Structure 1
Amino acid sequence: MKKLAIPNQRQVIDRRGLAEAIGAIHAEQGDKGRKAIVALLRDALEGGRAELAKRLEAKPSAGHDCCAGHAFLVDQIVRLLHDHVVERVYPPGNRSSGERLSIMAVGGYGRAEMAPHSDVDIAFLTPTRRAPWCEQVIEAMLYFLWDLGLKVGHSSRTPDDVVRMAKEDLTIRTALLEGRYVWGDQELYEEVRRRFWADVAHGSEREFLTEKLEERNARHKRMGDTRYVVEPNVKDGKGGLRDLHTLYWIGKYIHKVRVAAELVDVGLFTAKEYRSFRRAEGFMLAVRCHLHTITNRPEDRLTFDLQRQVAERMNFADRTGKSAVERFMQFYFLQAKRVGSLTGVFLAHIDEQFAQKRARRGFLAGFKARPRDHKGYRVFGGRIAAPSDDWFRKDPVRLIEIFQIAEADGFEIHPETMRQADRDSGLIKAEVQNDPRANALFLDLLAGRNDPETVLRWMNEAGVFGKFVPDFGKVNAQMQFDMYHHYTVDEHTIRAIGLLAKIEQGELVEDHPRSTRLIHRIASRRALYVAVLLHDIAKGRGGDHSVLGGEVAERLCPRFGLTDGETGLVAWLVRQHLLMSATAFKRDLTDPKTIEDFVGEVQSLERLRNLLILTAVDIRAVGPGVWNSWKRQLLGNLYDAAQERLRLGHMRHGRDQMVAAKKTAVAAVLGYQAGLIEKFTKVFTDAYWIAEPEDVIERNLVQYAQVRGRNGKLSVHCEFYPARGATLVSVIAADHPGLFYRIAGGIHLAGANIIDARIHTTRNGWAVDNFLVQDPLGKPFREDGQLVRIEKSIADALANRIELAPQLARRPLPRSRAKAFEVQPRAIFDNSASNRFTVIEVNARDRPALLNRLARSLFESQLVVHSAHITAYGERAADTFYVTDLLGQKITAPDRLAAIENALLEAASDQRQAELEEA
């Protein structure tokens, strides 16, 4: 956007020397020298790129220099080719007035912003159509450019074409807006430029603004509609380069600015804001150049596997609690956030300028509407504004007050006031942070009844949030380098607060029916909102963020004005905010010890209600698709069991009563087939009757009756199970050693992921195993063909018709980017979590058939798996097994436990995976 002088240009490319060399080749070889000329220019292009790559390595943040250098390099190549073709290949002789040619760079090339592998966008301008000499020159130049390996976007147009097509097509209009003279007939270029402004741009400014913003919004939606996605697109993502370009395009189109610096002169940016603009642009251009250099292709997505490499190239280093890649990405998101702030200010000013023009020209041109006073502020057109430039300096508490009023009364904040808040946010010192009025206002905003999410995001954009709550400022734009979390910590937190508000307003009753009921029964809604704010506040500090966050809560809650009781509740919720999900997803909820341990930690119904709601919004705010009906069901089951235990002081029914109640409920579901219960009542164990829900038992009994009735040895049944958002796979077979790992292998080979497994053995030696499975994207299988494929794959695995290990090893990991992460395998043994079983939790990198390998390892260690609980956190899997030895006893001997641990770690290791793939 700003023309840069390229230092030591001849080290990049020596045009004069190359021109002489091209002339010499042509003089010696004539038209046969074409191949030699291409080779000469290709070497020059590669040499120039190598020189620019070396400069980028020496100054890894010099994005403007690198991009300008690549544009300069291409300019010289294009000029050399033009001169060679015009002077030697198709010398013009006595040219007519129609045989003139101008070369104009457009798009990114026109801005002189080219990453190493950017397209070369060229418009060839000619006075008339179908001028034979012009067509020959253009064709010859294009063949040279293609032979050099450049990806060329080109057009050939007359001035009339330019005007007509630019009026019709926004993309063409935008590309021409950035047109830059490269070489050839300059008078022709100037004519096109003059006509563009006079015939195309004039009078269409409002239309261009509207279309550009619509285009931007559509692009944001395509890219995830937030600047805080953890694998951002540097070019097209929200807060990326294209957003900066959009500001420049709009400013140039409306105010005819030549370079971005002139946006200051026309009042759209302050000098300080323009410096921020340039810093953000320079950093993102540098990131894009590094991406192109690393991948050797036009790559604009900052994926996990590339983030680490770019961070290293840009000299980011590890710090306590934060890796180099996390520090790099935090800096990236701070720049993206700045782009968002600048965009808001810029567009609001443009809108105001148009509004002023309309007012001056309209029927009410002589009438000036007056803003009204509202609590000392000016309100006009739904916007609240500070009444003077020194408003916040006179009383910095107003920096909190204005956001609270905006949330409570439904106002937007005027862009000039946002700019003032950003400028004056540094006034928030300890005195303001500890001011009771400021804290009361903040608490009212945080627990606002209208839209706290949006206003807190504005507060964060203005830099006020992080200054008033410095602990929140520390997690501003901070990402977690994993595949589970979709957003930065601050964005995740603000989204969670928004979800809490929506639950309270009854907007999410379908997805969160329990939470919607319970939120109106909690003792302190403001304590819950504070707990959501603080639950991840200590991430990135090193150590357990839950424990450290509890300490932050104990310090901050009294400052916010919470009572001792509320402070104790918030601190407990922050410390234990992962307890409910870990219990629900990793433990057997039919084991009484699971409920006893959970209740022993929770201790009260008030804590339980708050914890359920916090857990729900925390999971859902992780990212799209993370919350599902299966998780809702598990959390609901745990809540119901814990509530009963807390309310009554004991479980309502003993084991015999629970089994009898379950059989009665199943009989109602079975209807005319209720006799199956009496027939098989002694075949199925009490543990089975307690563990399985009524509808699954009904299916199992019918399936068991069918397979036994035909004297079969195996029955596999699959069906979509909407109650859990998954596919239910029921396998009934004569029990034998290794059955579980073979079933798991068959399911994996069919392309399915197991999310839960319940393994039962009947008293007469039959296995009745129920699995819930989903596809790699967390969706259920529904189509008949998919269900048949799973059934056949399991049957083949159990009949030894396929070799499981080599076939499973060859299956690609659905998310291959998981290889970018280091996940150290761990096996944790717990003999206190259950009265009957040893509980083993294995954490490892998620990969094809991990469950199959772990189950096989347990089988080879002579263990019996009674239930398995499978949880995925992005690239990390956490698989939990309830096991006994062959005699039904817990495993307690230290040497035995050590041997099992070694076997599991080997099965889970990357080295073992590599060996299987080679085999």
Structure 2
Amino acid sequence: MPTPYDHIPDRRAIIRRRALEEALAKLMEHLSTGNEPPRQQVLALLRTALAEGRAEIRGRFEGMGPLRNDGPAVLVATSFLMDQLVRVIFDFADGKVFPAANPSAAERLGVMATGGFGRGELAPLSDLDLLFLRPYKQTPRGEQIVEYMLYLLWDLGLKVGHATRTVEESIRYAERDQTIRTALLEARYIWGDRALCDDLLKSFAQHFGGGDGRDFVEAKLSERDQRHLRMGDSRYVVEPNVKEGKGGLRDLHTLFWIAKYLYRVDKPSELVAKGVLTSGEAHHFMRAERFLSTVRCHIHYLTGRPDDRLSFDLQREIAVRLGYQDRPGSRGVERFMKHYYLHAKTVGDLTRIFVAALEDSHRRKPKLAALWQSLRPRQLGGFRLDGERVAAATPDAFEKDPVAILRLFHVAQENDLDVHPATLRLVTQNIRLVDKLRNDPEANRLFMEMLTSSHDPETTLRRLNEAGVFGRFIPDFGRVVAQTQHDMYHTYTVDEHTIRAIGVLASIENGSSKEDHPLSATLVHKIVSRPVLYLGVLLHDIAKGRGGDHSVLGADVAMQLCPRLGLSAAETETVAWLVRYHLAMSATAFQRDLMDPKTIENFAALVQSPERLRLLLVLTVCDIRAVGPNVWNGWKAALLRQLYHATEHILSGGTLSGGRAERIKAVQTEVAKRLTGWTEAEKEEHFGRGYPPYWLSFPPDTLARQAELVRRAERDHQPLAIEHRVDIERSVTEVTIYTLDTHGLFARLAGAMAISGANIVDAKIFTLANGMALDTFWLQDLEGKPFDGPQRLARLAARVEIALSNRLDIARELDSQKSSWPKRDRVFTVEPRVLMDNNASDTFTVIEVNGRDRPGFLHIVTRALTRMNLQIATAHITTYGERAVDVFYVKDLFGLKIVNQDKLKQIAEEVEKSIREFDARFEPVPKAAE
């Protein structure tokens, strides 16, 4: 009779069962009858066999032979190894430890494997699931054998799931519990009384072989849905779970469980003969299973534990092991992850077609739904209605009319219906017909209507993408399907991010996101051309992964594609401009001083028209919101609003430059109104403290609060005054510090805040005419929320005070905290880069510093700038996952811009050197150097 292990080459090299049994028998030779053998010696023999077997299997997997990177071979070989160990332990317990000269019928005992072990597919460090079968009530000797076996297996470091039952109990439990029923579905005889095990298999087949399997199908579908929700309900997460995640191995298992339960097959290829899968689909099933199993084996071997999460650090290592090398413009790890997501998508295609078809035929239909279906028209837009799904009228419908492929999704969208799984399969089988539709006016019209529809365009685009139609109809989009970026900023693949961005746009337009995005929700209805906006969002990342500037390359794609989709020359040019500059608004808002008139003037010169400004704001919001769940916050929203209103003022004929003295006077007049209880002399004294740039850097309310802080500190002769205000709307805590201005003040403050766990997102630094510093910081915690709470703020104030008195060793404190920092970002390398810009401001040199984000990064950079004798006026801090982009507005000691090229080069080199030295201190020590 064939076994799962017939194709394992040289099985004896994995484990020699007879040799192990002989070695155990020798332990018994010198013992008196009835004495139990020395446990440690027994364990030593078993441990050696287990370790050598695992080493042999791993050597084949990681070596250069024919089984290299063959995950399924590892699963079968590991299962074989465990089978043999269980057999040896059973025989030893039954025949040597608890021997019985004439065992009774009641003492019969069979051992079966269930679950993945039952399939003969055991990952290197997975659990063993065992079922001990007894005829009826357990005897003391049977209990002893089971207990002895389990303790030996546990002492070997194996995690064992187990149950001891009769055949009748097993069937009874399986009736009540679908998990037990699933485990028994894959039960396999290992050793012991074979007749008992055969009885169970026969009883199971008889008991559950009849009927339509409706309850089992419902239970498996419900388990799948709940598991997807637990794992994030997307197969495009950046650190997927290979086993439990959407599109992972468990989805394939679910498909096969249902097929095995309903059709009594033992492998996917048998589903072809049953007419469930085509030969091509069965081939895709096995390819996906092989790839995912191989990745899972690598995870187990690399982590040394039964982990199934494909984390960032493992992605890079596994990519190398699977032969994915870096190429010009293409990183090996990103190609590896793209293939992972493509396989996950294949799993989704298979499970959707197969499981949804079962769901359609096996789930109970409520009477009301059945009545509604009987009343609905059976034809819709040339398609037939099958329940709540749109279906092709005939098997050759798409061959006769290829445009019907696009019309199918259009009809489903407009009528809020799903597409029948059998029709989706028909679409897949006719997918090449989509190539003929690219220049078809009707097909392009249908696509644009679906994209810009008020009926949930996100779901329709996702259906088009899942069916493979989207990437065939727009090949440039097909290039970014499953395209990933190996960083901690982007949560989804490029195609998933783009589709989610369209969903955000639709929610802004229909008003459901008005509370989160009030400005965008108002402006979106003032935009002249909806197609321009929707295509701008659709195409903004279309050229990612091509090795160049995706904004520039994407603009070229837009120029070629938009006319095909029916846009005029002017509209096409606007879409191309949007794609080319889709990052400009966020870069300006988050990385430039919005109170500097030159910032607004430069941005207005780029945008040129109110229409483009509206388009760009909405696109920017959609882009950021679709990056990931924790990227958007109130601070970013406030900065974008500020930039929008300032730019709109310029584009509407207003001015931000000129009349500086008048503007300062107007601001001081507004501040004076808020300073109740102040004498005129006190007001004039305070207005004399601030230099002109200070009065144009804050709104009057903030200036008034700062004036009160300065007045109290001067009156009470405080060397240090700190005030904080939590700004819920902008998701920040505003901390103002008034103290004596000293060399390196910013660096010390940044260090104290880093040690306190505060993340600086913005800062404005001013020295007043009395020699005091008035510095304002906007802080968030590491989750992007306001840095608040009495204890945290008190701790921050204490550390600031200690730092300013030079009693805080910032470097040592950072060293002591590094063990608690997140580990996963250490896999990323961010090369330090310093850019100098003398055109962004009329009065400051702007320095942009890029590096790997970590606590203390800002402290290191500002300390380096201090060493170069630079005065920092403002700092704007932005993080993109593991990458920090810090921008500083600086002057030299004489209050002038730095124009000397040698000096600029020297500054850049000093800052880069400081960052590299800082990074080196926190890199994990290589094992060879330990």
Local SS of the residue matching 1:156: strand
Q: Which residue of 1 aligns with 2:251?
A: 243
Which residue of structure 1 aligns with residue 103 of structure 2?
Answer: 95
Distance in structure 1 (CA, Å) of the matches to 2:451 and 2:375: 33
Q: Who is 2:886 aligned against?
A: 879
- Quick check: 407-416 or 132-141, which moved more? 407-416
Aligned with residue 160 of structure 2, among 152, 162, 176: 152
- Given the superposition, is the C-alpha separation of residues 172 and 668 from structure 1 closer, same or farther in structure 2, using an over 3 Å criterion? farther
Correspondence for 1:450 among 437, 441, 455: 455
2:480 corresponds to which letter in structure 1? V
Distance 1:842 1:368, change over 3 A: closer
Distance verdict in 2 for CA 1:768–1:129, change over 3 Å: farther
Structure-2 residue corresponding to 1:230: 238
For 2:46 and 2:306, the matched residues in 1 are separated by 21
The two structures have a TM-score, normalised by structure 2, of: 0.94
**1:14-93 paired onto structure 2 within 5 Å:** 14-28=16-30, 31-32=36-37, 34-57=39-62, 58=65, 59-93=67-101
Asked if 1 retains the 8 angstrom alpha-carbon contact of 2:724 and 2:736, the reply is yes
1:759 matched to 2:765? The reply is: yes
Query: Which of 186, 191, 199 is the equivalent residue of 1:191?
Result: 199
Distance 1:346 1:833 in 2: 58
Residue-by-residue CA offset, 1:462-487 (whole Å, 9 max, x unaligned):
11111111111111101001111000
Return the alpha-carbon distance in structure 2 between the equivalents of residues 358 and 763 of structure 1.
80
| Counterpart Cα distance in 2 of 1:467 and 1:543 | 23
Match of residue 707 from structure 1: 713
Whichever residue aligns with residue 542 of structure 2, its letter is I
Alpha-carbon separation, structure 1, partners of 2:182 and 2:158:
22
Q: Offset of 1:771 from its aligned partner?
A: 0.9
Structure 1 residue 470 corresponds to structure 2 residue 478: no
Amino acid paired to 2:51 = E
- State the match for 2:420 in structure 1: 414
In structure 2, the residue matched to 1:906 is 913
Compare 671-680 and 823-832 and name the one that shifted more: 671-680
Gap change, CA 1:304 and 1:912, over 3 Å in 2: closer
Partner secondary structure for residue 689 of structure 2: coil
d(CA) in 1 for partners of 2:575, 2:354: 40
Instruction: Give the match for residue 211 of structure 1.
Output: 219
Contact residue 103 and residue 184 of structure 1 kept, 8 A: yes
| Closer, same or farther: CA 254–792 of 1 in aligned 2, 3 Å | farther
Higher deviation after alignment, 622-631 or 779-788:
779-788
- C-alpha distance in 2 between matches for 1:861 and 1:363: 75
Give the partner amino acid of 2:631.
V
CA deviation string 1:274-311 (max 9, x = no partner): 22111111110100001111122212111111101111
Aligned mates of 1:134, 1:412 — CA distance in 2: 55
Q: What is the CA deviation profile of residues 11-44 of structure 1, one whole-angstrom value per residue up to 9, with x for unaligned ones? A: 2222233223322333355744543332222222
Match of 1:506 among 493, 511, 522: 511
Moved more, 278-287 or 369-378: 369-378
Between 657-666 and 751-760, the greater mean CA deviation after superposition: 657-666
2:897 is the counterpart of 1:897: no
Q: CA deviation at 1:171?
A: 3.3
Q: Is the 8 A contact 1:837 1:889 kept in 2?
A: yes
Which of residues 836, 845, 859 is equivalent to 1:838?
845
Opposite residue 432 of structure 2, the aligned amino acid is: G
1:729 pairs, out of 735, 738, 741, with 735
Structure 1 residue 131: deviation in Å?
1.6
Aligned residue in 1 for 2:307: 299
- Cα deviation for residue 405 of structure 1 reads 2.2
CA contact (8 A) 2:380 2:411 kept: no
Among 590, 594, 602, the residue aligned to 2:607: 602
In the alignment, which residue of structure 2 is the partner of 1:382?
388
Paired residue secondary structure (2:287): helix
**Is 1:284 equivalent to 2:292 in the alignment?**
yes
Instruction: Please state how far the C-alpha of 1:130 moved relative to its aligned partner.
Output: 4.2
Counterpart amino acid of residue 793 in structure 2: L
**Structure 1, unaligned stretches of length 5 or more?**
none
Q: Pick closer, same or farther for the CA change 1:673–1:535 going to 2, 3 Å.
A: farther
Find out whether 1:692 has 2:713 as its counterpart: no
Query: 8 Å contact 1:585–1:631 — kept in the other structure?
Result: yes
Q: CA deviation at 1:781?
A: 2.6
Name the CA shift for 1:372/1:663 in 2 (closer, same or farther; >3 Å).
farther
State the partner residue of 1:720: 726
What RMSD, in angstroms, separates the aligned Cα atoms of the two structures? Answer: 2.6
Aligned to 2:755: 749
Relative distance call for 1:671 and 1:464 in structure 2 (3 A) is farther
Change (3 A) 1:29 1:743: same
Percent of aligned positions that are identical: 48
Cα distance change, pair 653–665 in 1 and its aligned pair in 2 (3 A): farther
1:486 aligns with 2:494: no
On the 8 A contact 1:665/1:694 being kept in 2, the answer is yes
In the other structure, the counterpart of 1:616 is 621
Q: Show structure 2 runs of 5+ residues with no match.
A: 926-930
Name the SS of the counterpart of 2:872 in structure 1: strand
| Contact in 2 for aligned 1:752/1:776 (Cα 8 Å) | yes
Distance in 1, matches of 2:707 and 2:101, equals 95
Distance 1:83 1:569 in 2: 78
Change (3 A) 1:792 1:203: farther
Structure-1 separation of matches of 2:114 and 2:233: 28
> 1:434 — aligned with what?
439
Report the Cα distance in structure 2 between the residues aligned to 1:413 and 1:33, rounded to whole angstroms: 66
Partner-residue secondary structure (3-state), 2:534: helix
Determine the C-alpha separation between the residues in 1 that align with 2:587 and 2:101: 82
Instruction: Give the direction of change, closer, same or farther, for the CA distance of 1:329–1:915 in structure 2 (3 Å limit).
Output: closer
Contact 1:233 1:301 survives alignment (8 Å): yes
Verify the 8 A CA contact 1:268 1:349 in the aligned structure 2. Answer: no
Conserved 8 A contact 2:826-2:923: no
Question: Could you tell me which residue of structure 1 aligns to residue 928 of structure 2?
Answer: none
348 and 857 in structure 1: CA distance in 2 versus 1, 3 angstrom threshold? same
Q: What's the CA shift string for 1:103-145, capped at 9, x where partnerless?
A: 1112221222211111112122223344211111111112221
137, 157, 170: which one aligns with 2:145 = 137
Give TM-score scaled by structure 1 length: 0.95
Query: How big is each residue's C-alpha offset from its partner over 1:205-249, in whole Å with a ceiling of 9 and x where there is no partner?
Result: 433333333332222222221100011111111111111112222
Instruction: State the one-letter code of the partner of 2:640.
Output: L
Bigger mean CA deviation after superposition, 392-401 or 292-301: 392-401
